[in-house]
Amino acid sequence: MLIVLNNLKSHYEIEQLTRMFTKELTVVYGTREQQAENQDMLYVNRQGEDVFAELSLNGKVYAGTAKADEDEDKMMLDVCAVLYKMYTQAFDKKLAWGMLTGVRPVRLMRNLCKKYGDIEPVKDIFKNRYFVTDEKIKLCSDIYKLQKNITDSCQPNDYSLYISVPFCPTRCSYCSFVSVGSTNASKLMEQYVEKLCEEIKYTAQTAKEAKLNLKTIYIGGGTPTAVSAEQLRRIMQTVKDNFDLSAIKEYTVEAGRPDCTTKEKLQIIKELGADRVSINPQTFSDEVLKAIGRRHTHADFVECYETAKEMGFKSINTDLIAGLPLDTVEGFEKSLKGCIELGAENITVHTLTLKRASNIVTGNQNNSYADVEQMLAKNALLAENGYVPYYMYRQKATLQSLENVGFSQPCHESLYNIYIMEEIQTIISCGAGGVTKVVGPNGELKRIYNYKYPTEYVKDFDTILKRKDEVTEVCRQFGFLND
């Protein structure tokens, strides 16, 4: 579809909204007359007091008008509301999140609650202005209420530490993360671990100078257990030697892949202070696991999970994905029930996202996806079994524009997941692909990027350390260093 914009400054909101209905689109600025006729086209033209929108699709024409406004953000909100109504008619579909395109609906709700001083008018805005369904408004407000004590108790000087290990045994077909296959990367992995340990030590020093207080640690990736047991021990020993673990509230290691998470590695994780691990089945079907390029079976997952359980970790998270190729609504329900029966303290239900760099998309794999909305409706089983939703985020290109939700047994909510998704606490990141986010006292956010790929990270490591120095500088700007 062609989008033609006239007398408008930006196309971002219109493009994001349109992508939830159709993926193939081109945006140009100009007048309608400059475009070829007989094609599917949205024309948005600001003229005088009004913004006119006209959609020609499959030989039918839909039209609407919004008020022009000096406040561009407000005007775009009104334009998108007009477009959303036109699209629901033209494409004959409504979206559960209505016209909301953002990644963080709970944060939006929190900010609006601050503005209006109460949640009721905010629910009304979600329903009547953004066209969100009652079911999603309830999900969002339940999470907002559960998080409130946690978000309110964050102090400006608090921070969490994220450590990235961007290696995996094989690449899952839906993945677009910057993770390197570990099978042929032993030299790179060794160089990486060495530099990572240096960065961890430097970060401890930086955080001390910036007068920050460590609250949680998260070692993620990739799959941190893709490195050898000895390398994992070195990374975690460096953390232990350089940070005061007695003062932190949570320490997680992603042990996501049962095909590289051995008993020895789980023991190291436990011994060196982590109290939470994530062991991810994704699905309980071996057929689906094979279709997505995971090298392990369901039985491997259960064995790995039971081993971790016996070791006495405080919380174990299990990730599931709704909408995987070959999966069915019944298959998804079986996976969900399986995680509940195992007694996992956290169950995170992702909705499949068709990321542009993933093998599913680049390989043009012609999959048919079961009704993912029906799959997510099975999440009701979690509430029936005492789980509560505690964090949520959305991604671009997710099937049916749905969401990812973390569910938890009471008192097992992962603080790190809340901090990172709500962007309410500083996160200092180490390793390739890491992004440090320093959060100021009024919610301002300053991002400092590490290199994306492990090869660049190892090669130009001096730059990584120099960028760490910026953390102290930003903390100074935010006033953390003033006594």
* Residues engaged in binding ligand SF4 (CB under 6 A): 168, 171-172, 175, 177, 179, 221-223, 256-257
Cβ nearer to ligand SF4, comparing 64 with 431: 431
- As a whole number of angstroms, the longest Cα–Cα distance in the chain is 70
Q: Angle at the Cα of 374 (from 368 to 380), degrees rounded to 5?
A: 145
Closest separation in Å from C-beta 369 to ligand SF4: 17
* C-alpha span between 196 and 177 (Å, rounded): 19
Closest separation in Å from C-beta 272 to ligand SF4: 22
- Matching residue, tokens 């090669």: 459
Closest separation in Å from C-beta 458 to ligand SF4: 19
Q: What residues does 277 pair with on adjacent strands?
A: 253, 316
Closest separation in Å from C-beta 395 to ligand SF4: 13
152: Cβ–Cβ under 8 A, 6 or more apart, which residues?
none
Q: Angle at the Cα of 298 (from 292 to 304), degrees rounded to 5?
A: 115
* C-alpha span between 456 and 402 (Å, rounded): 35
Cβ nearer to ligand SF4, comparing 6 with 262: 262
Question: Per the structure block, which two tokens stand in for 224?
Answer: 């941190």
Closest separation in Å from C-beta 258 to ligand SF4: 11
Burial pattern 320-337, b for ≥16 Cβ within 10 A else e, equals bbbbbbbbebebbbebbe
Cβ nearer to ligand SF4, comparing 13 with 319: 319
Phi, psi of 248 (to 5 degrees): -95, 160
Cβ nearer to ligand SF4, comparing 25 with 178: 178
Cβ nearer to ligand SF4, comparing 154 with 172: 172
Closest separation in Å from C-beta 226 to ligand SF4: 8
Closest separation in Å from C-beta 220 to ligand SF4: 9
Pair 279, 255: CB distance under 8 Å: yes
Cβ nearer to ligand SF4, comparing 191 with 359: 359
Listing from the earlier edge strand, what are the strands of the sheet with 435-439? 388-394, 403-408, 346-351, 315-322, 276-278, 250-254, 213-221, 158-165, 426-430, 435-439, 445-449
Cβ nearer to ligand SF4, comparing 18 with 173: 173
Dihedral sign for Cα atoms in the order 370, 373, 376, 380: negative
Phi, psi of 440 (to 5 degrees): -80, 170
Among left, alpha and beta (phi > 0; psi -120 to 50; other), residue 254 is beta
Cβ nearer to ligand SF4, comparing 5 with 288: 288
DSSP state of 182: S
Cβ nearer to ligand SF4, comparing 7 with 183: 183
Closest separation in Å from C-beta 252 to ligand SF4: 15
Cβ nearer to ligand SF4, comparing 223 with 425: 223
Closest separation in Å from C-beta 260 to ligand SF4: 9
Question: Per the structure block, which two tokens stand in for 64?
Answer: 């609407």
Pair 360, 354: CB distance under 8 Å: yes
* C-alpha span between 370 and 291 (Å, rounded): 15
* C-alpha span between 119 and 202 (Å, rounded): 43
Q: Within its chain, how far is the Cα of 344 from the centroid?
A: 21
Closest separation in Å from C-beta 413 to ligand SF4: 22
Pair 438, 474: CB distance under 8 Å: yes
Cβ nearer to ligand SF4, comparing 171 with 446: 171
Question: Per the structure block, which two tokens stand in for 88?
Answer: 């629901």
Closest separation in Å from C-beta 361 to ligand SF4: 14
Cβ nearer to ligand SF4, comparing 179 with 206: 179
* Nearest one of 382, 390, 315, 405 to 149, comparing CA atoms: 390
Cβ nearer to ligand SF4, comparing 172 with 274: 172
Bond into 338 cis (ω within 30): no
Residue with nearest beta carbon to ligand SF4: 175
* C-alpha span between 199 and 182 (Å, rounded): 21
Closest separation in Å from C-beta 285 to ligand SF4: 16
Pair 1, 8: CB distance under 8 Å: no
Closest separation in Å from C-beta 178 to ligand SF4: 9
